[in-house]
Amino acid sequence: MPKIVALHYKKLVRVFEQDGFTIVRQEGSHIVLTKLGILRPVVIPTYDEIPVFIIKNCLRTARMSRDRYFELLENM
């Protein structure tokens, strides 16, 4: 399985949008996404490179598997 690497925030937002998340608001330097059935919102900072630990936290919050993440990343 490939390693999760740092990404630009726009690419990460597109991955979550492909999975059914929608942008609810942008507060300062953070984008907030929600999806029906997911209790907590996914918050993505607007960094040029999102660190791996933030990507993993977002995946955990979204209840998205690594396989699904790489599948969506590949389809972009």
pLDDT one-digit tens code per residue, 8-28:
999 999 999 999 999 999 989
Q: Tens digits of per-residue pLDDT, 30-69?
A: 999 999 999 999 999 999 999 999 999 999 999 999 999 9
**What single-letter amino acid sits at 29?**
S
Handedness of CA 14, 60, 37, 25 (dihedral sign): negative
Is 32 contained in some domain? yes
The boundaries of the domain holding residue 47 are 9-74
Q: What is the CATH number of the domain that holds 62?
A: 3.30.920.30
Is 68 contained in some domain? yes
pLDDT number for residue 68: 95
Q: How far apart are the first and last CA of the chain?
A: 18
pLDDT number for residue 16: 96
Q: Considering the entire predicted model, what is its pTM?
A: 0.92
Is 45 contained in some domain? yes
Biggest alpha carbon–alpha carbon distance for the chain: 35
Is 2 contained in some domain? no
